[in-house]
Amino acid sequence: MSEIMAAGKADHAAVIETLAQAFQTDPALSWILPDAAHRARALRSLFRTLVPADARAGVALRATGDEAGALWRAPGQAHGGTLEFLRTVVPLVATFGTALPRGLKAQAGIDAHRPKGRFWYLHYVGVRPEHQGKGHGGRIIRAQTAIADAEGLPCWLETATPENVPLYERLGFVTQVEWDVPGGPHFWGMMRPSASS
């Protein structure tokens, strides 16, 4: 079975591809980018921007067999600062194009429901389609929740995929809030308390 490791710059391309494949059928991104062919290209562009940004703000993880990838933002880094905004705004506008208003609407809901305080933020986690249902998602999440536990910190995530809610619950996450993006997907906001709290 593959190991879980921090993804260095040389590993970013593999994490980008893993997440782009994993999110091809994500309800929120499918609503934002309804054309499947455009979505496939846009997701690669999106993750080319997010993987290095999230690695700087926390950690990018990968399974050594490239089955799974995860982007975690460190405590206090859930919202990027001015420098990150300047680095990412042009690529993100180019990625979303005419879908930008839907993307901003979804992001506004996420921002409005994210809690205050110190926590590790699971920004994205995904498993390549051919490896789903084999425990890779749980393994890559547990690799970082163990660190959060050692630090005495909770973890937060949002999901628009109802099938993932039971997986996250098995990993100790508890639904704190649910909301609907107007005209768009339903979201769950979930917190995992630190095992040491």
* 36-65 residue pLDDT tens: 999 999 999 999 999 999 999 999 999 999
Which residues on neighbouring strands pair with residue 186, listed in sequence order?
180
Give me the residues paired with residue 192 across strands: 155
Q: What is the DSSP string of 39-51?
A: HHHHHHHHHHHHH
Q: What is the percent of the chain where pLDDT is above 70?
A: 99
Residues ≥6 apart with Cβ < 8 Å to 105: 181, 182, 183, 184
How much is the mean pLDDT over the chain? Answer: 94
Amino acid 187: pLDDT: 98
DSSP class of residue 130?
Answer: G
d(CA 87, CA 84): 5
Which residues are CB-neighbours of 124 under 8 A, at least 6 positions away?
Answer: 19, 23, 47, 50, 54, 69, 70, 71
Per-residue pLDDT tens digits for 74-93 = 999 988 776 777 777 888 88
Q: Which domains does the chain have, with CATH numbers?
A: 4-192 (3.40.630.30)
Query: Quick one: pLDDT at residue 89?
Result: 82
> Does the structure show a pLDDT above 90 at 26?
yes
